[in-house]
Amino acid sequence: MSGCIVFDLDGTLIDSAPDIQGIANAVLGEVGAAPITLDETRSFIGDGFQVFVARMRAARAIPDSEQARMLEEVVARYDDAVTLTVTYPDVVETLEALSARHRLGICTNKLLRPCMAVLRHLEIEGFFGSVWGGDNPLARKPDPAPLLAVFEELGEGRRLYVGDSEVDAETAQRAGVPFLLFTEGYRKSPVASIPHEESFSEFKDLMGLVDAQL
C-alpha cells in the first residue's frame, strides 16, 4: 500500500557539516576567532542557523551583539555551499526504491534556498513531491505544523517521518506520526533516549523498516 514518507535533510539524507564548517570558519575568521572543529559543527546543527550561530558564538565567547551580523554573513554564504556535501551511503538507491512505491517529501529546518540548491547539486530533488524549509510561513521544527503541511501536500496515505535528531523525534511525536531514527547523523543524545519506532544505521536497511510501518 502506498504511503507518505517525509525525511529530514541534514544529518539524515546528507552530511552537510563540512560545507557548514567552512562557512562558519570564514565568518569566525573575520572577527579573529578560532575556527570550530567538524565535531563542534555537527553538534551545533539541528535547530536552524539562528541557533547554530548562537552556539558557535558561545563556543568562542563572541558577544550577543554580533549575532545579527554573523547570522547575515553565514546565510549569505550558504546558498552555494554544496561542494563538500554528500549523501550518506545507499541514500540514492533507497530513495529510488521508496519512490517507486511511496510519495516522498522533506521537512527540514534548513533554509529553503540552500535546501533546493543542494538537492539539485546532488541530483535528488526529483524524488520529492513536497519540500518545506525552516523559513516556511508556519513554524520551525519541533513545531509539527510544517511536517503536517508536507504530508497534506503529499496526499492521502499512512504517514512516516525519518530523521536523525531529538528535534525530529519531538516533531514526529507532536504530529502523531511514527518516527524512524537514523543513528549516524547529528543527534546529541544516546539512541535509547530518543523516542522512535525503529532505528537504523545503514540506509540499505530502511526499506524493510518502512514495509513494517506502512
Digit-coded pLDDT (tens) for 108-117: 998 899 899 9
CA dist 56 and 176 (Å) reads: 33
The fold for domain 17-78 equals: DNA polymerase; domain 1 (1.10.150)
Average pLDDT over residues 20-36: 95
Active-site pick, 8, 19, 47, 164: 8
What is the pLDDT averaged over residues 147-161?
Answer: 97
Q: What is the pLDDT of residues 38-49, one digit of tens each?
A: 999 999 987 778
Q: What Rg do the C-alpha atoms of the chain give, in angstroms?
A: 17
**Grid coordinates given for 60:** 568562542
Spatial contact of 184 and 75, defined as CB atoms under 8 Å apart: no
Domain 3-15+85-213: give its CATH code: 3.40.50.1000
Alpha carbon distance 47, 141 (integer Å): 8
Could you give the dihedral angle defined by the CA atoms of residues 181, 48, 173 and 208, in that order, rounded to the nearest 10 degrees?
-20
pLDDT score recorded for residue 96: 98
Domain spans, the chain: 3-15+85-213, 17-78
pTM of the model: 0.91
8 is catalytic: yes
State residue 47's pLDDT score: 79
